[in-house]
Amino acid sequence: MNKFFIVLISIFSLTACGLLPPAYKVPVAQGNVLELQQVNQLELGMTESQVKYLVGSPMIRDLYKPNEWLYVFSVIDANETTIESEVTELVLYFDQGRLIEIQGL
């Protein structure tokens, strides 16, 4: 009889974790929050400082491609209060300090 109760309590103990609500997950937003209005103001021929003033510093500047600026935004475990970016990926190319190409719109 004692074995029966031990087995019964063990089964209830193991299945009880499934009855609980899932654990809270903190939303993680990383990258540049860009609005479409800001990005639409970019024009070919702008200087690097004008671009930084308009959309901020890039998230990634590759050491081997210094003329390529990456603006990336991602969210993990988003909820209704998490900050969202209208533009999630933007790549800007420069030549001699001037904007020559915009990708990701």
- Tell me the per-residue pLDDT of 19-31, one tens digit each, with 9 for 90 and over: 667 777 888 888 8
Q: What is the DSSP letter of 75?
A: E
Q: CATH number of 24-103: 3.20.20.70, 3.30.70.141, 3.30.1450.10, 3.40.50.150?
A: 3.30.1450.10
- Tell me the per-residue pLDDT of 64-90, one tens digit each, with 9 for 90 and over: 988 999 999 888 877 777 777 788 899
Torsion over CA: 52, 61, 103, 95 (sign): positive
The pTM of the full predicted model, rounded to 2 decimals, is 0.71
Residue ranges per structural domain of the chain: 24-103
